[in-house]
Amino acid sequence: MKEAFSLKLSSDVLVIDDGSVDKTAKMAEDAGANVVSLPFNLGIGAAVQTGFKYARNHEFDLVVRIDGDGQHDISYLEKIIDFLLKEELDIAIGSRFVGSLSNYRFSFVRRIGINFFSSLISLLTDYKVTDPTSGFRAYNKRMIKIFAEYYPHDFPEPEEILVADRYMAKIKETAVKMNKRVSGTSSIRYLKTLYYMIKVTFAILLDKFKRKGDDL
């Protein structure tokens, strides 16, 4: 299971299975969710975009994106939706650094990475985003239409903000709690993180050169 989209009120849960070989797709289906099974691994960007296309085709008013690894606490779902509607935002980002909820422990490297992207984004755009790698986000109808048509391929979380900047979208953060992801550490991971940071930096800088977008 790669990504889960879910909606409260008159809600509809969509699970995107990005060519996974385990039984998560079947499990989600048995639990009553709509499952989109991609024929092969498309990568995170195109997988998430599939959800936006579904939402656009069904003319949904809003979408909440939730990662499939159990990292995002579903009890904050309503809070993030309320925040989106009340503040009339285009994108509401669930942040681990806003407010006093934060008990999420980061490794040193991760914290540096997140701070780095946060400053890079505030340098290139007018947004102050404390948690640019958070995937716990709510989107309104306008963003659904835009992202269904054009969605960043490689590093969607930070790059989304750059795309939003081109469409002059309204973005704000609200506090959420996140569960710890199970992960090990090894020396290779640090090099990988550094490589990831360099790649994302290039991607973000190149995003800055792209044209401003017209509403769809």
Positions touching another protein (CB under 8 A) are 34-40, 42, 46, 49-50, 53-54, 57
37 vs 119, which CB is nearer to another protein? Answer: 37
CB of 155 to another protein, least distance (A): 16
CB of 54 to another protein, least distance (A): 6
CB of 16 to another protein, least distance (A): 9
CB of 11 to another protein, least distance (A): 16
CB of 48 to another protein, least distance (A): 11
* 179 exposure class (CB count in 10 Å sphere: 0-12, 13-18, 19+): exposed
CA–chain centroid gap for 123, Å, is 21
Q: Are 18 and 47 in contact (CB under 8 A)?
A: yes
For residue 48, what is the enclosing H or E element?
helix 44-57
36 vs 62, which CB is nearer to another protein? Answer: 36
Task: Give the angle subtended at the CA of 191 by the CAs of 185 and 194, to the nearest 5°.
Answer: 110
The phi-psi region of residue 201 (left if phi > 0; otherwise alpha if psi is between -120 and 50; otherwise beta) is alpha
* 23 exposure class (CB count in 10 Å sphere: 0-12, 13-18, 19+): exposed
